[in-house]
Chains A and B, each alone.
Chain A
Amino acid sequence: MPSSHDSQSVTTVHNHDRNLALLFVATGAIFGIYGSGLGSLMLASLSGFRLPLQEIGFASHPYAQIYGFIFEFIMGVAYILVPRFKGERLTDILSSLKRRRFYFCFLLLLHPSRSESVLQASILEFRGRSCPERCLFRGISASLCTHPCLCAIRIYLYPKHLGVWRCSKPVMDRYCRGSILHAFSLKDLFTGLSTESS
């Protein structure tokens, strides 16, 4: 017989799914109303009515209808129906990413030289490109730099998180030191790039 605690947790899960679905459907409805309103204004202007506003915002009409209304509405309905069909909870992507982040960092740690060569090639490639592309590239490079450092901090502060990798701690120590030095060398490369671009 299920306990009261179990039934309470099931109700909480169902309420969470319902709230998520309602949020999707409500925002979808708002975008739908906005898109339909814009569409009716567009039709009115095509029919020859003179509108007291500029027609510049009409470009967002198809985006609001397709990516605003249809996507949000269908995603909301799917979020509430699919878990109920299966009687299972949705996977929490954020927590599973947090659990796997350590292994991702470890992989990055194992290949500092490779990532550096990729970055150097990208720096040469991105010279003279437009500002948004450089910003995007810098963001990716900065994340590539910080991950090994975060991993190193984590290995030193929380060695119990290593789990099955605990036996390889001496090797990882060496990689950690190397990765921190590597991050510093990359910092010099970025500084060079930013001064060159300015």
Chain B
Amino acid sequence: MSDILVTFTDVCFIILGYLFSYFLMALASFFFLIGVGVFAVQTSKLAFINKGGFHQTNPLIVEASLSSLLSCIILVFANYAGLRVHVDIFSQSSIYLVLLSFAYLQ
């Protein structure tokens, strides 16, 4: 499910590069948020189970899930014109959030 949602969103983003639409942008961001939300719930649930090896990684998995959710919320805020929130999703801090908090910790 999350794979379909995330891939659909990425395809939408590529199409939007050629044909811009506020509605499709907001819809794609919502789908991305849902897809990443599913991922975050699935991995965080496993992180709270005290079973198997690598217990040290549990807080890192949870933190990575939270940061991925946060970056998706920022994406929705930036792309939904009705909210009137001006956020730069490709600013240094946003890229650090994705690269260091999500990619590196996960």
Q: Tell me if A72 and B6 are in contact (CB < 8 A).
A: yes
Select one of B13, B39, B51 contacting A75, CB under 8 A.
Answer: B39
State the CA gap A78–B41 with chains docked (Å): 13
CB contacts (< 8 Å) of A20 on chain B: these are 3
Q: How far is the CA of A83 from the CA of B95 in the complex (A)?
A: 27
A181 nearest CB across to chain B (Å): 32
Once A59-B17, A70-B103, A85-B52 are accepted as A-B contacts, the answer to whether A27 and B45 lie under 8 Å apart by CB is no
- Which chain A positions have C-beta within 8 A of B38? 93
**Interface residue count on the A side (C-beta < 8 Å):** 42
Asked whether A71 is an interface residue with its Cβ less than 8 Å from the other chain, the reply is: yes
**B-facing mask of A67-103, CB < 8 A → 1, else 0?**
1101110110111001101111011011000000000
Size of B's binding interface in residues, CB under 8 A: 44
B85 close to chain A: CB less than 8 A? no
User: What residue in chain A is nearest B61 (Cβ atoms)?
Assistant: A82
* B39 close to A78 (CB less than 8 A): yes
B52 touches A87 (CB 8 A): yes
Q: Assess whether A71 is in contact with B51, with CB atoms less than 8 Å apart.
A: no
Q: Which residue from chain B places its CB closest to the CB of A56 in the assembled complex?
A: B18
Chain A residue nearest to B29 (CB atoms) is A67
* B16 to A, closest residue via Cβ: A60
Query: Inside 8 A of B90's CB, which chain A residues have their CB?
Result: 62, 66
Q: Are A71's CB and B17's CB within 8 A?
A: no
Q: Digit string of B20-54 for contact with A (CB within 8 Å is 1, else 0)?
A: 10110010000010001011011101110101111
- Report if A57 contacts B (CB, 8 A): yes
Q: How far does the alpha carbon of A78 sit from the alpha carbon of B13 in the complex, in Å?
A: 23
Taking the complex as formed, is A133 at the interface, i.e. its CB lies under 8 A from any CB of chain B? yes
Q: Are A67 and B2 in contact (CB under 8 A)?
A: no
A59 to B17 Cα, complex, angstroms:
5
With an 8 A cutoff between CB atoms, is A109 at the interface? no
Interface centre among B14, B26, B57, B98 (most CB of A within 10 A): B14
Contact partners of B3 in chain A: CB under 8 A? 20, 23-24, 27
CB < 8 Å neighbour of B46 from A82, A93, A132 = A82
Q: Which 8 A-B pairs have the closest CB atoms?
A: A60-B17, A132-B23, A63-B13, A86-B52, A68-B10, A57-B17, A87-B52, A59-B17
